[in-house]
A and B are shown apart, each in its own frame.
Chain A
Amino acid sequence: MTATLERGLNALREQIDAPVASFFTSCVSCGLCAEACLFYKETGDPQYTPIHKLELMQRLWSNEYTLLGRAKSMLGLGKKITDEDLTEWETLVYDSCTMCGRCTMVCPVGNDITMMIRKMREGMSASGHGPVDLVGAAERHTDGTSPMGDLTKALHARVKQASAETGLEIELDKPGVDYMLILSSHEIASGEEMIAAVARIMHKAGVTWTISTEGFEATNVGIQLGNRDVARNLVSRVVDAAEKLGVKGVISPECGHAFQAIRWEGPNLIGREYPFEVVHIIELLDKLRAEGKLKTKGKDHDRITFHDPCQINRRGGINKEPRNLLNMVSDNFIETEDAGTMNWCCSGGGGVGANTRANDLQAKAFNIKKRQIEAVAPEKIVTMCAFCHTTLENQLEARNMDDIEVLGLTEMMAEYLDDED
Chain B
Amino acid sequence: MNNPYFDLLMWARGPGFDIALTILIGGILLRVVEIVVLGRKKDLAKPKGSPVSQGIKTIFTRSVPRKGMMKDAPVTYIGGYVFHIGFFIAFFFLGAHIALVDDLIGLNWPAANKALIETAAAASVIALLALAWTRVKDPVRRALTRFDDWLVLVLSGLPLVTGYVAVNQIFGDPTLMMAVHILSAELLMIAFPFTKLMHAVTFAMARYYNGSIQGRKGAES
B69 and A268 within 8 A (CB): no
Nearest 10 A/B pairs, CB to CB: A110-B207, A317-B218, A267-B44, A317-B219, A29-B144, A110-B210, A35-B72, A19-B209, A22-B205, A317-B217
Q: How far is the CB of A88 from chain B (nearest CB, A)?
A: 14
B44 and A272 within 8 A (CB): yes
| B13 on interface, CB distance cutoff 8 Å | no
| B10 on interface, CB distance cutoff 8 Å | no
B219 and A342 within 8 A (CB): no
B209 and A112 within 8 A (CB): yes
| B103 on interface, CB distance cutoff 8 Å | no
Question: On chain A, which size bracket covers the interface?
Answer: 35 or more
Among the listed B67, B73, B194, which residue makes an inter-chain contact with A68, where contact means beta carbons less than 8 Å apart? B194
12 more CB-based (< 8 A) A-B contacts, given A52-B143, A106-B66: A18-B39, A22-B205, A26-B199, A44-B139, A105-B66, A108-B203, A110-B209, A264-B217, A268-B43, A319-B219, A342-B66, A342-B68
| A420 on interface, CB distance cutoff 8 Å | no
Q: How far is the CB of B92 from chain A (nearest CB, A)?
A: 21
| A206 on interface, CB distance cutoff 8 Å | no
| A358 on interface, CB distance cutoff 8 Å | no
Supposing A18-B209, A26-B202 touch, asked if A46 and B140 sit within 8 A by C-beta, the answer is yes
Specify which of B38, B65, B194 lies most central, judged by the most chain A CB atoms within 10 Å of its CB. Answer: B38
Within 8 A of A (CB), among B52-74: 58-59, 62-63, 65-69, 72-73
Within 8 A of A (CB), among B121-148: 138-146
**Alpha-carbon gap, A110 to B210, bound state (A):** 6
Name the CB-closest residue of B to A45: B139
Specify which of B43, B73, B144, B213 lies most central, judged by the most chain A CB atoms within 10 Å of its CB. Answer: B144
Q: Which of A175-183, A214-222, A308-316 contacts B (4 or more CB under 8 A)?
A: A308-316
A17 and B144 within 8 A (CB): no
B140 and A26 within 8 A (CB): no
A46 and B139 within 8 A (CB): yes
**Alpha-carbon gap, A26 to B59, bound state (A):** 13
A109 and B219 within 8 A (CB): no
Supposing A27-B196, A31-B76 touch, asked if A110 and B219 sit within 8 A by C-beta, the answer is no
**Alpha-carbon gap, A272 to B199, bound state (A):** 35
Could you write out 11 A-B pairs with CB less than 8 Å apart? A28-B149, A31-B140, A31-B144, A36-B69, A67-B30, A67-B34, A104-B214, A107-B210, A267-B44, A277-B46, A315-B219
B69 and A35 within 8 A (CB): yes
Supposing A31-B144, A49-B140, A49-B143 touch, asked if A22 and B194 sit within 8 A by C-beta, the answer is no
**Alpha-carbon gap, A47 to B65, bound state (A):** 23
Interface residues of A (CB under 8 A from B): 16-23, 25-32, 34-36, 40, 44, 46-47, 49, 51-52, 65-68, 104-112, 115, 263-268, 271-274, 277, 313-319, 338, 341-342
Name the CB-closest residue of B to A113: B210
Chain A neighbourhood of B72, CB < 8 A = 35
A17 and B38 within 8 A (CB): yes
| B105 on interface, CB distance cutoff 8 Å | no
Among the listed A19, A67, A341, which residue makes an inter-chain contact with B213, where contact means beta carbons less than 8 Å apart? A19
Chain A neighbourhood of B143, CB < 8 A = 46-47, 49, 52
**Alpha-carbon gap, A49 to B141, bound state (A):** 9
Among the listed B34, B40, B58, which residue makes an inter-chain contact with A65, where contact means beta carbons less than 8 Å apart? B34
Among the listed B36, B45, B77, B194, which residue makes an inter-chain contact with A67, where contact means beta carbons less than 8 Å apart? B194
| B211 on interface, CB distance cutoff 8 Å | yes
